[in-house]
Structure 1
Amino acid sequence: MISETIKPRFLETDALGHINNTVVPGWFEGARDPVFRWFTPDLDVKRWRLILARFDVSFHGELYYEYPVELRCYIGRIGNSSFDVYQEVWQHGEKCASGTSVLVHFDHQRKASIPIPEDIRQLMLQHLYPGEAR
């Protein structure tokens, strides 16, 4: 598991007083930075090797501005060229949101998917979700 704790910003709240639902996908993207670095260590977009094929987010409870949030990131599935990143948002010991992103190892010049290298595959295995994702 990859984990980071963030402090929600006031601007991320909505008129109902909780974190707006449009914020969580952005948090998830930021929490995937360690995964991005496996493929592009310096995060140079000219050498970027991933594309986002799909993502979904489910909300399980409200999130609030005043309190820290833990973002958890796991690998849910490893295919030949694609993989799932399963993520969770926790606040006050409760899972408040979860989601899955499908990322594809991609050659942008050829416009084609390419196999995930074995060394990266080994890194992924260290972060497998311990249960059934979703």
Structure 2
Amino acid sequence: MWTNTLQPRFSETDALGHVNNTVLPVWFEESRTPIFKLFCPGMAVDDWHLIIAKIDVDFLAEIYYGKAVEIRTYMKKVGNSSMVVGHEAWQEGQMVAKGNAILVHFDHKGKSSKPIPDDIRNILEQHLVTTE
């Protein structure tokens, strides 16, 4: 599991006084950076081989400005060419949101998925977590 602690910014709050629902997918994306670096250590766009096939977010409670949020990121499934990444957002000991992202290892020239390399697969599998 990878963890990332974020400080909600005032600009991320909305008129209702809590962090806006559009912020969580951005936080979850930022928290996938360790996965991105496995596939593309230099983070160069011309060497990028991951695409996102699906994201979902379940909002469980309000998230407030001024209180740190811990994002927990882990692998739920590692397939041949795709993976399911799980995310949880925690604030003050409470899970406030959770979500999933399906990423596909992709060949942009051939416009098709390609197998995840074994060395990367081995690292991803070290972060498998069963949550159900």
- Report the residue type matching 1:26 in the other structure: V
RMSD: 0.7
Aligned residue pairs: how many? 132
**CA–CA separation in structure 1 for the residues paired with 2:93 and 2:45:** 36
Written as runs of structure 1 = structure 2, the 5 A alignment for 1:5-24 is 5-24=5-24
**CA–CA separation in structure 2 for the residues paired with 1:53 and 1:90:** 25
Segment of structure 1 superposing worse, 123-132 or 40-49 = 123-132
List gaps (5 residues or longer) in structure 2: none
Written as runs of structure 1 = structure 2, the 5 A alignment for 1:31-110 is 31-110=31-110
Q: How many Å apart are 1:125 and its aligned residue?
A: 1.1
**CA–CA separation in structure 2 for the residues paired with 1:131 and 1:88:** 11
**CA–CA separation in structure 1 for the residues paired with 2:9 and 2:16:** 15
Deviations 1:39-64 (A, max 9, x none): 00011010001000001000111100
TM-score between both structures, scaled by the size of structure 1 = 0.97
Q: How many Å apart are 1:131 and its aligned residue?
A: 2.5
Q: How many Å apart are 1:130 and its aligned residue?
A: 3.5
Counterpart of 1:115 in structure 2 is: 115
**CA–CA separation in structure 2 for the residues paired with 1:131 and 1:21:** 23
Q: Give 3-state SS (helix, strand or coil) of 2:55's partner.
A: strand
List gaps (5 residues or longer) in structure 1: none
